[in-house]
Structure 1
Amino acid sequence: MASSQVVKVLVVDDESWIRGLYKRLLSPFGFEITEAEDGAAAVNHFLNGNEYDLILMDKQMPKMNGVEATRALKSMGATGKIVAITADESSMEAFMDAGADKFMTKPIGRSELGDILKTFNLLN
């Protein structure tokens, strides 16, 4: 990742406090962070011309769940890395089949987010 480029992150979770937590944990890195309350909103961000370097995706959400949203985003050509973060350990195969780049179980904190950023070379 070029050091002059701002990393764009989309945080997708129906729980506002979880979106806020991820936003607080990621804000020290100077990323541009966008929130979506469900999979349909995430897809709409992409349809509106937004691209993201990293998408943190929950599973259980209204309107469109995370597996459906991941599949839709990948089929529309989204190139950002999608990390499924859910309490449902049994959904790993479904997420990976849908095109997720990484699967993690909740809860995650600063250390786990740091590992994600390192894995996908998103730190300058």
Structure 2
Amino acid sequence: MPTSQLHGVSSPKCEVTALVVDDDTVSQMIHHKLLNILGIENDVVVNGKQAVDIHLSGKKFDLILMDRDMPVMNGIEATKKLRDMGIRSTIAGVSSHSSSKEKQEFFEAGLDVYHEKPLSVAKLLSVVSKIKHKA
């Protein structure tokens, strides 16, 4: 028991929630598992419209891992819409696209940070540490 307190496991103030927004099932699984490894409660949706809808239903997340290219509503549209709705969560763009023009377009939509796929524990920890400092 004291050991878990030392590692911050029992501290409710350290809890972070995340939303994985990606249409690729392999990426969903990887990001979901990485978040679980870090003890981050997370939900998964398959496109930007579902990300917007889940927020409209009243759910809130500290972190949103947003893929760029998805059917129905892509990551850029979804990010713009979430920001227009007043969502202040940290939105991390996660994509295999790395051209500076594509990244810039994503950032202009309201992105906080961008990482190329695949995410790693180190990349995820760098994003999560920024959330904890923001709070």
Q: TM-score, normalised by structure 1?
A: 0.90
Q: Which residue of 2 aligns with 1:62?
A: 71
Larger-gyration structure (1/2): 2
Q: 5 Å matches for 1:43-54? A: 43-54=52-63
Residues 69-104 of structure 1: per-residue CA shift (max 9 Å, x gap): 000000001111000011111311111111110111
Q: Which residue of 2 aligns with 1:40?
A: 49
Task: Give the % identical residues.
Answer: 35
* d(CA) in 2 for partners of 1:4, 1:34: 19
Give secondary structure in 1 for the equivalent of 2:91: strand
* d(CA) in 1 for partners of 2:36, 2:47: 21
Read off the aligned partner of 2:90 and give its amino acid letter.
K
Q: Which residue of 2 aligns with 1:87?
A: 96
Unaligned stretches of 5+ in structure 1? none
Q: Of the two structures, which has the highest relative contact order with CA contacts closer than 8 Å and spacing of 6 or more?
A: 1
Q: TM-score, normalised by structure 2?
A: 0.83
Unaligned stretches of 5+ in structure 2? 1-10
Aligned length: 120
Q: Which residue of 2 aligns with 1:8?
A: 17
Let me know the Cα RMSD of the aligned residues. Answer: 1.4
How big is the shift at 1:20?
A: 1.1
Q: Which residue of 1 aligns with 2:3?
A: none
Answer whether contact 2:92 2:113 (CA < 8 A) is retained: yes
How big is the shift at 1:120?
A: 2.3
Read off the aligned partner of 1:30 and give its amino acid letter.
G
Q: Which residue of 2 aligns with 1:108?
A: 119
* d(CA) in 1 for partners of 2:40, 2:115: 21
